[in-house]
């Protein structure tokens, strides 16, 4: 399965990750990753960077060690209304955003509330990816989630870190087995991401790739295969391919 990108990674700015942007990019280059997304945690996360960190990405190079770079945020979905922890004026300065529920900073609890939170977040124009919708502590109606991702043209993430036994999120394997069937049913595209918090994990999608292969998931629905495929869901990439400024 072709795999040239990793769009959910963290640096020391997240407060609980361990490498710099340049270290992450250098590791990506050594592994042949063509497109790297840096998505540090939004400010609601304890120890994460303040809002103004996300306001100055224009100063950063868009190619480091030959790797094409994108800069955004892993937003915290805060409630069943899909509220997130960066406001539109700052979100407009991001290349893209991943939106995730982290239970400690989220006020919902029921399947209906959790599903509504994801669906509402999908309607945010900055959100291109729903991150790790796989935690049994945040039960979700995967039929509704997949159908909404199709409607709102948002990628669902297959998170490699969630499938690692060391991860605090539980039940990811069983949950992906269900979610991926609905993605096949509705022809919903997914993205494999590492959720790397240290450089060694950049581009590591071995567990995510394994579950996609196990379930016979169609390669044409996995956007990691090409920048052109990802660009159908990430406006800044689409603009770049058309020769416009990102």
For residue 243, the model assigns a pLDDT of: 78
Instruction: Give me the mean pLDDT over the 90-104 stretch.
Output: 97
Among 60, 57, 40, smallest CA distance to 48 is for: 40
The CA distance from 140 to 143, in Å, is: 9
For residue 157, the model assigns a pLDDT of: 99
For residue 242, the model assigns a pLDDT of: 83
Lowest mean pLDDT among 65-69, 101-105, 239-243: 239-243
DSSP class of residue 92 equals: T
Indicate if the pLDDT at residue 245 is higher than 70: no
Indicate if the pLDDT at residue 246 is higher than 50: no
Indicate if the pLDDT at residue 125 is higher than 90: yes
pTM of the model: 0.97
Q: What is the residue-wise DSSP string for 107-129?
A: ---SHHHHHHHHHHHHTSTTEEE
Instruction: Give me the mean pLDDT over the 193-222 stretch.
Output: 98
Indicate if the pLDDT at residue 239 is higher than 80: yes
Indicate the pLDDT class of residue 106, thresholds 50, 70 and 90: very high
The percent of residues above 90 in pLDDT, for the chain, comes to 96
If phi > 0 it is left, if psi is from -120 to 50 it is alpha, else beta; for residue 129 that is beta
Indicate if the pLDDT at residue 215 is higher than 90: yes
Indicate the pLDDT class of residue 1, thresholds 50, 70 and 90: confident
């Amino acid at each position: 399965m072709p795999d040239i990108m990793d769009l959910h990674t963290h640096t020391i700015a997240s407060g609980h990750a361990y490498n710099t942007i340049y270290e992450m990019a250098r590791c990506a280059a050594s592994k042949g990753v063509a497109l790297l997304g840096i998505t540090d945690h939004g400010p609601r996360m304890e120890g994460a960077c303040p809002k103004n960190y996300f306001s100055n990405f224009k100063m950063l190079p868009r190619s480091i060690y030959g790797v094409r770079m994108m800069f955004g945020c892993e937003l915290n979905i805060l409630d069943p209304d899909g509220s997130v922890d960066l406001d539109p004026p700052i979100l407009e300065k991001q290349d893209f955003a991943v939106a995730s529920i982290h239970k400690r900073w989220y006020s919902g609890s029921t399947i209906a509330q959790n599903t509504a939170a994801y669906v509402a977040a999908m309607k945010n124009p900055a959100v291109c990816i729903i991150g790790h919708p796989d935690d049994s502590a945040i039960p979700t109606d995967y039929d509704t989630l997949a159908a909404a991702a199709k409607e709102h043209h948002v990628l669902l993430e297959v998170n490699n870190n969630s499938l690692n036994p060391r991860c605090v999120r539980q039940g990811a394997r069983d949950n992906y087995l269900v979610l991926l069937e609905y993605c096949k049913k509705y022809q919903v595209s997914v993205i494999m991401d590492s959720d790397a918090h240290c450089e060694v994990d950049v581009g590591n999608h071995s567990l995510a790739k394994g579950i996609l292969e196990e379930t016979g998931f169609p390669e044409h629905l996995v956007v990691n295969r090409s920048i052109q495929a990802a660009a159908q869901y990430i406006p800044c990439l689409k603009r770049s391919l058309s020769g416009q400024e990102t």
